Amino acid sequence: MKRNLTITVFLILLAGFNSFSQDFRQVKNLSGSWKFSVGDDPRWASPDYDDSDWDQIRVPGKWESQGYDNYDGIAWYRKTFEADDFERHTPVYLLLGRIDDADEVYLNGELFAQTGSFPPDFEIKYYEDRVFLLPERILKNNPEITIAVRVYDYFGEGGIKSGKVGLYYDYDANYIDFPIGGKWKFKTGRNKDWARQKYPDESWDEINVPATWESQGYSNYDGYAWYRKSFDFPPEVDKKDLYLVLGKIDDYDYVYLNGELLGSYKTIRRDFDYPREQDTWRNIRYYTIPDGLLKSGRNQLAVQVLDNQGNGGIYAGPVGITSKENHYSLRRKYRRSNTFFEYIFEAIFD
Amino acid sequence: MKLYFYKIIIAVIFISIGFSSLGDTEFEKKQVRAVNLNGWWKFSIMQTDGWAERNFDDSGWDEIKAPDEWEDQGYNGYNGYGFYRKKIKIDKEITESQMYLSLGYIDDVDEVYFNGEFIGSTGSFPPNYKTAYNAKRMYYIPGSIVKPGEENIIAVKVFDMTQAGGINKGDLGIFIQEYPIKTDVDLVGQWKFTTRNSDSFKEPGYDDSNWDEIMVPGAWENQGFRNYDGCAWYRKEFRVDKSDAEDYMVMLAGLIDDVDKVYLNGTWIGQTGENDEFYSRSAGSSVRYYESERAYVFPSDLLKDGLNVIAIKVVDGQGTGGIYDGPVGIVKQSKFVEYWKRRSRKNRNNSDW
């Protein structure tokens, strides 16, 4: 644990400024008063649970500053809101700021995401922004959505502590003509066959893209994994000079379209923003699609990802196929110039 | 002149301390002396049948003062057994709180009875003699054996091996500890205790009959384990009437120095910190786990109607160790939630001005 805490300090320094850096714009503000109770009971996840006699607490804000001084352990937050006006802005992300130390998020009673883990084998993640892609079926099928957040605080400050809390959309989605986010097929492991266009992946797990795999049931998984997505491309679109944008990937990727290798993190590294190999997780992936490879109708994407440590996966957007012009706009927006300190740092260590 | 100035400053400090403690103490724990036991006790060096009983006639016994060594009171050079008795009255409202009998320091071994009921012992009598002269005696008095408003009897059997003997140091009395939350199953009192370590200690069937006894809450340093740092286990059997339980209950394990894991009937129900981080004395964590009020929620399916066993593994990095403060017991979750609601409201009101 002590070693973890030391590593954590470094992670705060890294993650503090740059953890997702998507261009989030607000759709619905969910900060303010939430229902709150110490203790633990699985029934508290249910949208039907009557929380009228629960305490009210300000979110974001640590619970210690709101009367719950010295409270460590498990507590729940609940909030219900109307699901309106989201159509214009899909995909919609749920942002819950930073939660001290670990949490489970329930949407209408269903476990939706987990960050860190609860005791006995607990893992603290208080330095990490909670960013979740909301599944469309939840937004479409429910006039009201109840969010219940089960929080574990192992010591010291606890709760939904700081940051943006609400529903947001990624402004950069505007640069993508043909988005390919949402549910993908997912399997941990390493197998060249999984790049094949016709490989049968029906039995594979489903995973949201973009989002870390740690937040989707694969907490603590480091190593190889494959993502697959089949999608229909409209016949009327001219298939020349197109780019595949794959968002940010932690850490390394090989990308196949219809069985052909499009490129890898090495391609990106040669010509792009963070030239050092250990920084590839910060780069948005852009791959040129050779003319003729993309078909009208059914196409198949396959991505091999290797995560060295910490979070893994295709974890931040935007994801999809877009024109040369849009791709340049996006690239220009995130082109990075070295800061003074980084010049010095690189001069010393490279 | 300068000295005078300092005196004023000191006076101001004391006055402000006085005022700051005047606030409402609903959510603070309180320790209150209910009965003073310093002074004259009946004393005999002869063991007579029924000597610890409430109705035993001790009118023929000697009288000596406690705390003080018996050598200074006419028993010069005497080593061996000594018997103390004292009659006291206890008001009814006191019996509704957790009562501790404080007997200071006893040279060397003692065994204590309240109204004829055994309530605790420290050290070991011959033939397996073991002194506990440096252990502070604190015994929990179960409310059920107290006769409020009537005469009650405290009876202490003491064995002295050499030199100063008897109840010889400290502040004697009955103290009540009041915690802001009242538990439904009170687990304050004598627990089984060992400084050994084995995973099997969590099992309800484990035979702990040869373990030491320890008062919970209370740091182990004050109870014969001075300077002990490292791992220790606590175990206690208790009875529960399950018809009174809610679906989810909360185990309150008080304040623990430093980290702990709690098992109910062999099942893990909660922990604070990681036990491993304290195994080497030099590698003590910078986290102040000893400030954390332990509260672990568990489903009442884990409770059995009748006999249950709670086991707590504690690892202490350095300094004070063990379950050193309460409350210790099991409370219904609804009551726990209500308690925190009231306490948080109070805190918020206080911080308003």
- Is residue B9, in this structure, part of any structural domain at all? no
Whether A202 has its CB under 8 Å from any CB of chain B: the answer is no
Furthest C-alpha separation in chain A? 64
Co-location of B170 and B229 in the same domain: no
Residue B178 has what pLDDT?
80
Give the CATH superfamily of A2-171. Galactose-binding domain-like (2.60.120.260)
Q: How far apart are CA B57 and CA B53, in angstroms?
A: 9
Q: Which residues of B touch A72 (CB under 8 A)?
A: 272, 292-293, 295
Output the pLDDT for position B23.
Answer: 44
In a mutational test of the B interface, the residue from A52, A66, A154, A157 whose CB has the highest number of chain B CBs within 10 Å is A154
Mark yes or no for CB contact A38/B272 under 8 Å.
no
Residue A31 has pLDDT above 70, yes or no: yes
Is the per-residue pLDDT at A346 higher than 70?
A: no
Same structural domain for residues B132 and B147? yes
What is the rounded average pLDDT of the residues A200-211?
93
Phi/psi region, residue A177 (left: phi>0; alpha: psi -120 to 50; beta: rest), is alpha
> Which residues, numbered 222 to 261 in chain B, qualify as contacts with chain A under a Cβ-Cβ cut-off of 8 Å?
247-248, 250, 261
C-alpha–C-alpha distance, residues B118 and B112, integer Å: 6
From A57, which residue of chain B is nearest by alpha-carbon distance?
B344
Domain boundary among B178, B194, B220: B178
Q: Which residues of A touch B277 (CB under 8 A)?
A: 1-2
B36-58 residue pLDDT tens = 999 999 999 999 999 999 999 99
Position B317 scores a pLDDT of 84
Final residue of a domain: which of B178, B199, B234?
Answer: B178
Residue of chain B minimizing CA distance to A41: B248
Kindly state whether A154 is in contact with chain B, defined as any CB-CB distance less than 8 angstroms.
yes
What is the CATH number for B223? 2.60.120.260
Over range A313-335, report the average pLDDT: 90
Partner A contacted by B314 (CB < 8 A)? no
Residue B119 token pair: 């309530």
**Residue A337: which pLDDT band, with cuts at 50, 70 and 90?**
low
Q: Taking CB atoms and an 8 Å cutoff, what residues of chain B touch A117?
A: none
Are A120 and B261 inside 8 Å of each other by CB?
yes
Contact check, Cβ <8 Å, B337/A38: yes
According to the model, what pLDDT value does residue A16 have? 36
**Closest CA of chain B from A49, distance in Å:** 15
Domain that holds residue B140: 30-178
Contact partners, residue B252, CB within 8 Å, separation at least 6: B181, B183, B293, B294, B295, B326, B327, B328, B329, B330, B331, B336
Q: What is the pLDDT of residue B353?
A: 43
Q: Does a structural domain hold residue B16?
A: no
Per-residue pLDDT for A348 more than 90? no
Looking at B141, B161, B178, which one is the last position of a domain?
B178
Q: How far apart are CA A214 and CA A4, in angstroms?
A: 17
Fold category of A176-334 in CATH: Jelly Rolls (2.60.120)
Q: What is the pLDDT of residue B279?
A: 54
Most confident of A83-92, A131-140, A298-307, B213-222: A298-307
* A55 in contact with B, Cβ within 8 Å: yes
Q: Does residue B120 sit in the same domain as residue B101?
A: yes
- Considering only residues A35 and B217, tell me which one the structure prediction assigns the higher pLDDT: A35
pLDDT band at B125 (very low <50, low <70, confident <90, very high): very high
At A280, the amino acid letter reads T
Average pLDDT of the residues in A251-261:
96
B121 and B40 both lie in a single domain: yes
Amino acid B29: pLDDT: 73
Whether the per-residue pLDDT at B12 is higher than 80: the answer is no
Whether residue B221 sits in one domain with residue B198: yes
Say if the Cβ atoms of A68 and B337 lie within 8 Å: no
Place of tokens 């098992």: B263
Interface test with B, best of A52, A72, A100, A153 (most B CBs within 10 A): A72
* Stronger pLDDT, B13 or A105, i.e. the higher one: A105
Residues B223 and B199 in one domain: yes
B172, B190: one domain = no
Alpha-carbon distance of A169 to A162, in angstroms, equals 19
Angle at A85 between CA A82 and CA A88, to 5 degrees: 150
pLDDT at B280: 47
pLDDT score, position A339: 58
Domain count for chain B: 2
Q: How far apart are CA B200 and CA A350, in angstroms?
A: 54
Residues of chain A with CATH 2.60.120.260: 2-171, 176-334
Decide: A35 and A51 in contact? Cβ < 8 Å: yes
Q: What digits encode the pLDDT tens for the residues B255-289?
A: 999 899 999 999 999 999 876 655 544 445 568 88
Give mean pLDDT, residues A43-53.
Answer: 97
Compute the mean pLDDT over every residue in chain A, rounded to the nearest whole number: 87
Query: Is residue B174 located within the same domain as residue B59?
Result: yes
Percent of chain A residues topping a pLDDT of 90? 60
Flag whether residue A73 sits within 8 Å of chain B, measured between CB atoms: yes
Note the helical H segments in chain B. Answer: 2-20, 333-352
CA nearest to B93, candidates B138, B25, B54, B146: B146
Q: In this complex, do B261 and A40 lie within 8 Å of one another by their Cβ atoms? A: no
Q: How many other CB atoms are found less than 10 A from the CB of residue A141?
A: 11
Q: Within this chain, do residues B294 and B191 fall inside the same structural domain, yes or no?
A: yes
Q: Is residue B154 situated within a structural domain?
A: yes
Q: A273-293 pLDDT, tens per residue?
A: 666 777 888 889 999 999 999
- pLDDT for A87 beyond 90: no
Residues B90 and B204 in one domain: no
Q: Is the pLDDT of residue A341 over 90?
A: no
